[in-house]
Amino acid sequence: MAKEMKLNGKLWCFHKHNHLLVKVVVSILLVGLAFRLLFFRSIGFSPVLETPLLEKTTVPEPPVSVDLVPESTVPVNFPQNGDQLPHGEKCDLLIGDWIPNPSGPAYTNESCHLIENHQNCMKNGRPDSGYLYWRWHPRDCELPQFNAKRFLELMRNKAWALIGDSISRNHVQSILCMLSQNQAIEVYHDEEYKSKRWRFPSYNFTVSVIWSPFLVEAAIFEDINGVSTADVEMHLDKLDKKWTDLYHSFDYMIISTGKWFLKTAIYYENNTALGCHSCQGKNLTELGFEFAYRNALRYVLNFIIASNYKGMIFFRTSTPDHFENGEWFSGGTCKRTEPIKEGEMELKELHKILRDIELAEFEKAATKASEMGVNLKLLDLTYISLLRPDGHPGAYRHFHPFAEDKNAKVILDCLHWCLPGPIDSWNDVLMQMVVDG
């Protein structure tokens, strides 16, 4: 009996000890769990696995009609192209295809009064309208369509300038027409109406176009139809003050040139003739347009690199014409009515030369610009423009050219772009590049 009581006492002590041990273990677990919850809350994490992209990813909105958007401020919230790709890869906005766009253009030639007559193809009687129903689509991501209201909010108290030749003037009309429901007021023009400035009062936003076809200083002797009375006199060591004097007043710039360098010209440095391009009978060394284009671009880009410019500047590549079966002076035409596919048309040799020079000079400049803290970007629109031979005025740069004579001989325009037209998609690309920074 005594042995049995002694054994029961040992068992009781053992159970008591185990009971205390369990209590201690449970207490430790409870304290640990409380600390874990407190810790995660204090640093903003959740112990449950989450997908942060659910909060950050923005679903692209459909194009907003500016007629329906109130004047109040709209948050600027653009989707990033890179979010559409796996592993955070960056989308190349300029590799893609033209795809059908049943909704058509964002404006019409009747809703925008800023279209110059030569680009107003519908008013001038162009019979087909299929060229209006396409949009540019990168192959690896979605490109949001230009949203006028958001663009204006982003550009509040800012100033843009497009600097170059008549393609820049063509492009500025496209931008203004995309914003046309928020009426721009013209506040400046030069004597020939080639350089202009518009202001959007509600946003204190200005858009300028500055006529400077060579970017360097040049004396030009030709009329509105391009008929010259003397050779161009180009100074390769002097920049055109029409844009350099205003350079630091702009927050964004698009600079471009190209086709004008194919014109007959005499080249100067230190006010002394170096040579020329295609100037027969002048007793000057034939240097060729490549020499002038390379040196002029290098001088322009070196100025930009050293400028301490704090905004964003785009260098736009030159865009091709689409004269087929000849040139503008030898019966060339542009009668296509749809975009083409990659590989169906090659760049002409002259365009390849211009483009090779542009890319080579930009590549050299870009590294130096980055080192100097200048935000210089390449706006390479050559490829997407090559695929749109259907987008030019052709004979319809003139008002109803065949109304009186179906066989009338008229000057065709297979270089500039109808408005509305393919050039409007340039603004989709441009806007995304601005947002991407």
The 10s digit of each residue's pLDDT in 143-178 is 999 999 999 999 999 999 999 999 999 999 999 999
The single residue of 251, 416, 424, 425 carrying the catalytic annotation is 416
Residue 166: active-site member: yes
Range with lowest mean pLDDT among 23-27, 161-165, 241-245, 322-326: 23-27
Residue 286, pLDDT above cutoff 70: yes
- How far is Cα 328 from Cα 305, in angstroms, rounded to an integer? 37
pLDDT digits (tens, 9 = 90+) for 400-417: 999 999 999 998 999 999
Q: Where are the alpha helices (DSSP H) in 159-206?
A: 166-178
Residue 321: active-site member: no
pLDDT digits (tens, 9 = 90+) for 290-311: 999 999 999 999 999 999 999 9
Please report, for residues 194, 340, 352, the alpha-carbon distance to residue 348 in angstroms, rounded to integers and kept in the order given. Answer: 28, 16, 6
- And the tokens for 407? 């066989």
Average pLDDT score over residue span 280-285: 90
Rg (CA), the chain: 32
Residue 67, pLDDT above cutoff 60: no
Average pLDDT score over residue span 378-383: 96
Residue 193, pLDDT above cutoff 70: yes
Average pLDDT score over residue span 13-25: 42
Residue 81, pLDDT above cutoff 90: no
**Confidence band (pLDDT; 50, 70, 90) for 280?**
confident
Nearest Cα to Cα of residue 209 among 246, 179, 182 = 246
Strand partners, 159: 206
- How far is Cα 319 from Cα 308, in angstroms, rounded to an integer? 29
Residue 37: phi, psi to the nearest 5?
Answer: -65, -45
- As a whole number, the mean pLDDT across the chain is 83
Residue 235, pLDDT above cutoff 60: yes
> CB pairs under 8 A, 24+ apart, for 216-223?
216/240, 216/296, 216/299, 216/300, 217/241, 218/265
Pick the CATH number of 80-436 from 3.40.50.1110, 3.40.50.300, 3.40.50.10330, 1.10.357.10: 3.40.50.1110
User: Looking at residue 89, what is its pLDDT?
Assistant: 54
User: Looking at residue 2, what is its pLDDT?
Assistant: 41
Average pLDDT score over residue span 325-346: 92
Q: Which residues contact 27 (CB under 8 A, 6 or more apart)?
A: none
The single residue of 240, 390, 413, 424 carrying the catalytic annotation is 413
The domain locations on the chain are: 80-436
Please report, for residues 4, 87, 343, 402, the alpha-carbon distance to residue 397 in angstroms, rounded to integers and kept in the order given. Answer: 118, 48, 28, 12
**Confidence band (pLDDT; 50, 70, 90) for 281?**
confident
Residue 432, pLDDT above cutoff 90: yes
Q: What is the pTM of this model?
A: 0.79
Residue 416: active-site member: yes
The single residue of 118, 165, 166, 168 carrying the catalytic annotation is 166
**Confidence band (pLDDT; 50, 70, 90) for 63?**
very low
Residue 22, pLDDT above cutoff 50: no
